[in-house]
Amino acid sequence: MFAERFQALTGITPSRYVAEVRMQMAKDWITRGRVPIERVAERLGYSSQAAFSRAFKRITGEPPSALRYQASDEHKRSDELAATP
C-alpha cells in the first residue's frame, strides 16, 4: 500500500529513492569530503567496497573511482588557476 502510493507520487519505488539518496550522500563525501571510497562504503553499510561500487555504478551510471578522478582533476585545475598571477 505505502509502496504503491509512494511510487504513484514520485514515479520511483521507495527502495530506489533510498538508493538514490544514499548515492547522493556518497557523491558528496567522495567529491567534497574527499572521503576514501572504502570508508564511504562502510558508512553506507555495504559489506565491501566492491558491493558499494557495483551499486553506485548501477544508480549513477559511473563507478565511484571515476567521480573521485573528476573531483581530483577539478581540484587541481582550481589550484592552478589560483596560483596564476
Determine the residue type at 61: G
> In the structure, what pLDDT confidence band is assigned to residue 24 with cuts at 50, 70 and 90?
very high
pLDDT tens digits, one per residue of 25-69 = 999 999 988 899 999 999 999 999 999 999 999 999 999 999 888
> In the structure, what pLDDT confidence band is assigned to residue 6 with cuts at 50, 70 and 90?
very high
Is-contact 62 53, C-beta < 8 A?
A: no
* Reported CATH class of domain 2-83: mainly alpha
Strand, helix or coil at 31?
A: helix
- Specify the pLDDT at position 77: 59
Q: Where are the domains of the chain?
A: 2-83
Global pTM value: 0.76
